Structure 1
Amino acid sequence: MAYGTRKVKTKLQEQGFIVSRCRIGRIMREQGLVSIYTIAQFKPHKIACNETETTNVSDREFDQAEAKRNGM
């Protein structure tokens, strides 16, 4: 069963131990223990959205500086 800091805290409370989640998390990090839920929830995306290169289909070049200079 996958145990994180919350489950470990409740199991220790059932046995009569009073330990904070921060301490449990620190000990788990020191021991290299990670809950399965922590690993499974992060899924990196290979390509960020709106990062793809778009082609210039109309083959037109727009000059924004010219339009601002004419007072538009």
Structure 2
Amino acid sequence: MKGCPYDNAVAEAMFKVFKTEFANGAHFASLEQLSLELNDYVHWFNNIRIHGTLGYLTPVEFKNRSL
């Protein structure tokens, strides 16, 4: 529902994780370096990092089990 304080809680939680694990204190020499490191982070987040809310599986493992 429009105006509901919980409507984008998942996105806000993801932004918090992104900022604390990736962006805080990071300095990039170029846009290309930022792009490479961001791609590495997204790959790590989706394929290697376990998530407690997914039963301590990676998002890819969770998705494959639920198919």
TM-score (norm: length of structure 2): 0.26
- The higher-RCO structure (CA 8 Å, 6+ apart) is 1
| Bigger share in helix | 2
Q: TM-score, normalised by structure 1?
A: 0.25
Higher Cα Rg, which structure: 1
